[in-house]
Amino acid sequence: GIDPNFDKNRETAGEENGVTVWGPVEPPETLGIHGTHVAVDYDICVADGACLENCPVDVFTWVDTPDHPESETKVEPTREDQCIDCMLCVDICPVDAIDVDPG
Ligand code: SF4
Ligand code: F3S
């Protein structure tokens, strides 16, 4: 699953769709972690979609990630500032790709 200490163990590698990306990033195979308060490990996400479908405040948006080995779409936490820390997405993701830090 996602490293809960990614913000200490990784360095930022720019922004995509208004969301901070934590490297390493080497497309199309390696896409890093997207988001900070709500963080999605793009290299673990398999596009299950349960997070996006069940988030009560619609934090996530689908984005295309062509030729990524795990899945060709991912969820971008574009409205992570709206997150109410319910932890539903963290609990529901089948591959533990999401970390939410209520801190
Ligand atoms: Fe949405 Fe809850 Fe996940 Fe925050 S913790 S992104 S509110 S499902
Ligand atoms: Fe991906 Fe997990 Fe959501 S696989 S689409 S982060 S439920």
CATH number of 10-96: 3.30.70.20
pLDDT by residue for the chain (103 residues), tens only, comes to: 999 999 999 999 999 999 999 999 999 999 999 999 999 999 999 999 999 999 999 999 999 999 999 999 999 999 999 999 999 999 999 999 999 998 6
Which residue owns the Cα nearest ligand 2 atom 2? 93
User: What residues does ligand 1 touch, defined as CB less than 6 Å away?
Assistant: 38, 55-57, 59, 83-89, 100
Answer for the pair 77, 39: CB distance below 8 angstroms, yes or no.
yes
CA distance 25 to 54: 28
Check if the interface score ipTM surpasses 0.90: yes
Which ligand is the nearest neighbour of the Cα of 88? 1
The pLDDT mean for the chain works out to: 97
How does 26-37 read in b/e, with b if 16+ C-beta sit within 10 Å?
A: eeeeebbbbbbb
Show me where the domains of the chain are located.
10-96
Residue range 14-29, pLDDT digits in tens: 999 999 999 999 999 9
